[in-house]
Chains A and B, each alone.
Chain A
Amino acid sequence: MELIRTTWVTSGTELRWPWLVVLLTLLLVGLLVAWVRTWRRRRPAGAAYVAHTARLRSLPRYRALVQQRQLLGGFGSVAALVACVGGIVLGGRVQETQVIDRDEVARDIMLCLDASGSTAPWNVDVVQELRHIVEELEGERIGLTVWNNAAITKFPLTDDYAFVLDRLDEAEDAFASWSEVYPSEEFDDYTAGTWSEERQYQSSLVADGLVSCVQRFDRLDEDRGRALILATDGEQRGRGVYDLEEAGAYAAEDDVVVHVIANPGEPDTDGDIDGLQAAASVTGGTFAQLGTGGSAEDVVEEIDELEAAKIERPPLVQTLDEPRAGQVLAGIGVALLVLVWALQGLISMAGRRSGR
């Protein structure tokens, strides 16, 4: 199960077409003014004149009717105005801007370990430190690939952290059991498949291992942060398919950030430190050289730094129409208007019937 933060944070509400609101308001006011003016001076065609209506106004029933009328008319006017305002708000299209912060969330980390004997003790530290990181992860996926002159996937990218921790325990045990004199059975079992007999003159193929690890990233069509931790001594024997420069370019092309933790490896040979450094910088990653003393703290530091190097990505912004307010206003207005009309009809019907 993948945990992806789906809560959108509302950052602001605004009108899509403010000019339409202004236009509609002006139109409404204009229509009102025109209506009131014609209503005041209208003398309907075909109407008959009636005189001495002043005495009608002195009747108590007349005053009651006028009061009733004013009350209902006032309510009706308010209702109509509310409905109009609702319509105008709807016309202006209220929109909500929502932002989702994607930092650190959609991130894949591929652990890419050199399984040659020379780096095994260093790998123990790397794996241990990685466990701390995993415990704090939320949503990221993590995978482990080990390689020598061939690469195998120990586990693919996953956010099943319990499983990941199990696998990391297994890796730690395997690397810890390595001894220079007699390769332990555990280590052999663990790294089985990373050594191909067909290429017995080639080992620790760094560039091929890197490319293999890069190829382990999936869902390439998604916009995810991709980091790769390459732990190696860079002491390559023989030639692989890729050289380090090509591997770095390959990683950069897939937007994979390569963080390199170089260890001294065997004391008597030197790795291609420059090449590793170049590959890291091409992809925008960090490079760390552990001292010959090989303290675990160096690894911890490096990995901490890696964690801190958040993958900054622009937040996702979406704008949604929020017609709720307008709909509610218009609905209330229309409902009130209908109510007032119904009431008016009932009252006048009652007035007509009362004498019969």
Chain B
Amino acid sequence: MTAHLTRVKTRLSIHAHRKVRGLLEGEYAALQVGRGIDFNDLREYVRGDDVKDIDWKASARSRMLLVRRYVAERKHTVVLAVSTGRSMAAMNDAQHSKRDLAVFVTGVMGYLAVRHGDLVALVYGDARRQHVRPPDNGELYLERLLGLVHDAISPDAPASDLTAVLDYVARAIRRRAILVVVSDETHVSDELAESLRRLTAQHEVLFLTIGDLDPTITAGAPRRLVDVDVATEVPSWLRGDVRLQEEYAALVAGEESQLRRRLDQLAVVHERVRDTESAIRAVFRVLERHRHARHR
């Protein structure tokens, strides 16, 4: 029942050092827009904490840097927006299942929110249908959301359409929230840019992308590849051709830089997730960069 979240927790405890987890939580805490005025307690400063929160007097007394903690005014809402079209059922560039990776990175974000006591909502869908699960709290609820994401992604699903999902977010989520977008977009189209622009006006938007397997390589790749969009095998003669590999790599690099540029223009913090190990670091970097962006 709690398979997806268990995996997230296990990963966090095994691969993320205690300190890193603290960092993550610190970064996450720093995301909160409205800080409560009710003082809660003091704790050791961790990287990412706002310098304003440092209690200088207490720090001087205890000879370590302490920050004040407040009880948040109200609970925040984290909206997890996941593109669950069939392209998500493929393999990514590090030869991991994109589905597992999407569930995992969504789980890390959700888990941080749940641990912080925030509400978690889910919007997911593809080109044909989009769904929303209202904000709620608790690990059990998060686990159910992860299960929904996991089950929605299959090779037989309709095509992916992130713009449709984001438009659905704009319609379905009224209150201000932290929007975590998990998708496998290769580039930012004009429609997507417009959707993102509208969403950034209302929400804090974090953008996580998952890459695609290079169908032209041979080394280490699966022996047979099937194109998930047309359900036919990728011809084996495409693989191993050096010139094709070069052209494909150049194309992918160009698209990625376009994606980064467009998202930078939109002031959307983004990060690429390659595998479960790097997913935690990617989440950390996203949180950190977002905080810096806000305080600039």
In the complex, the answer to whether B90 meets A355 with C-beta atoms within 8 Å is no
B252 CB to nearest chain A CB (Å): 8
A181 within 8 A of B: no
In the complex, the answer to whether B244 meets A55 with C-beta atoms within 8 Å is no
A232 CB to nearest chain B CB (Å): 94
Report A-chain residues with C-beta under 8 Å of the C-beta of B86. Answer: 51
A-contacting residues, B39-79, CB 8 Å? none
**Stretch binding the partner chain, chosen from A39-47, A92-100, A130-138:** A39-47
Report A-chain residues with C-beta under 8 Å of the C-beta of B243. Answer: 61, 351, 354-355
Report A-chain residues with C-beta under 8 Å of the C-beta of B225. Answer: 47-50
In the complex, the answer to whether A51 meets B98 with C-beta atoms within 8 Å is yes
In the complex, the answer to whether B213 meets A61 with C-beta atoms within 8 Å is no
Q: How large is the interface on A (under 10, 10 to 19, 20 to 34, 35 or more residues)?
A: 20 to 34
Closest-by-CB residue of B relative to A54 is: B229
A49 CB to nearest chain B CB (Å): 4
In the complex, the answer to whether A69 meets B226 with C-beta atoms within 8 Å is no
Report B-chain residues with C-beta under 8 Å of the C-beta of A215. Answer: none
In the complex, the answer to whether B155 meets A352 with C-beta atoms within 8 Å is no
In the complex, the answer to whether A352 meets B240 with C-beta atoms within 8 Å is yes
B255 within 8 A of A: yes
In the complex, the answer to whether B240 meets A47 with C-beta atoms within 8 Å is no
A59 to B243, CA, bound (A): 10
In the complex, the answer to whether A48 meets B238 with C-beta atoms within 8 Å is no
In the complex, the answer to whether A61 meets B226 with C-beta atoms within 8 Å is no
B219-236 vs A, CB cutoff 8 Å, 1 = contact: the mask equals 001111111110111110
Closest-by-CB residue of A relative to B95 is: A48
In the complex, the answer to whether A51 meets B228 with C-beta atoms within 8 Å is yes
A352 to B238, CA, bound (A): 11
In the complex, the answer to whether A56 meets B224 with C-beta atoms within 8 Å is no
A219 within 8 A of B: no
**Among A42, A56, A353: residue with most chain B CB under 10 A:** A56
A111 to B290, CA, bound (A): 129
In the complex, the answer to whether B233 meets A48 with C-beta atoms within 8 Å is no
**CB < 8 Å neighbour of A47 from B212, B216, B233, B251:** B233
A42 to B212, CA, bound (A): 23
In the complex, the answer to whether A61 meets B241 with C-beta atoms within 8 Å is yes
Report A-chain residues with C-beta under 8 Å of the C-beta of B227. Answer: 49-51, 53
Report B-chain residues with C-beta under 8 Å of the C-beta of A50. Answer: 90-91, 212-213, 215, 225-228, 234
A47 to B223, CA, bound (A): 7
A295 to B234, CA, bound (A): 103
**Among A48, A348, A353: residue with most chain B CB under 10 A:** A48
B197 CB to nearest chain A CB (Å): 24
Closest-by-CB residue of B relative to A62 is: B244
B195 CB to nearest chain A CB (Å): 20
A191 to B200, CA, bound (A): 140
B292 CB to nearest chain A CB (Å): 31
**CB < 8 Å neighbour of B241 from A47, A55, A58, A65:** A65
B33 CB to nearest chain A CB (Å): 35
In the complex, the answer to whether B237 meets A65 with C-beta atoms within 8 Å is yes
In the complex, the answer to whether A44 meets B238 with C-beta atoms within 8 Å is no
In the complex, the answer to whether A51 meets B241 with C-beta atoms within 8 Å is no
B159-203 vs A, CB cutoff 8 Å, 1 = contact: the mask equals 010000000000000000000000010100000000000000000
A69 to B238, CA, bound (A): 10
A-contacting residues, B121-170, CB 8 Å? 155, 160
Closest-by-CB residue of A relative to B231 is: A43
A60 within 8 A of B: yes
A352 to B233, CA, bound (A): 21
B38 within 8 A of A: no
- Known: A48-B226, A69-B237, A348-B240. Is A355-B87 also a contact (CB below 8 A)? no
In the complex, the answer to whether B241 meets A352 with C-beta atoms within 8 Å is yes
In the complex, the answer to whether B238 meets A55 with C-beta atoms within 8 Å is no
In the complex, the answer to whether A49 meets B238 with C-beta atoms within 8 Å is no
A37 within 8 A of B: no
In the complex, the answer to whether B226 meets A43 with C-beta atoms within 8 Å is yes
Closest-by-CB residue of B relative to A352 is: B240
The list of the 8 closest CB pairs from A to B, nearest first, reads: A355-B242, A51-B87, A51-B90, A48-B222, A47-B224, A351-B241, A49-B90, A49-B228
Q: List 25 A-B contacts (CB under 8 A).
A: A42-B233, A43-B226, A47-B225, A48-B91, A48-B224, A49-B89, A49-B90, A49-B225, A49-B228, A50-B213, A52-B229, A53-B229, A55-B186, A56-B215, A56-B216, A59-B248, A59-B251, A61-B243, A61-B247, A62-B244, A62-B247, A69-B237, A352-B242, A354-B242, A356-B242
Besides A50-B91, A56-B215, 5 new A-B residue pairs in contact (Cβ under 8 A), listed by A number? A47-B223, A47-B233, A52-B186, A65-B241, A351-B244
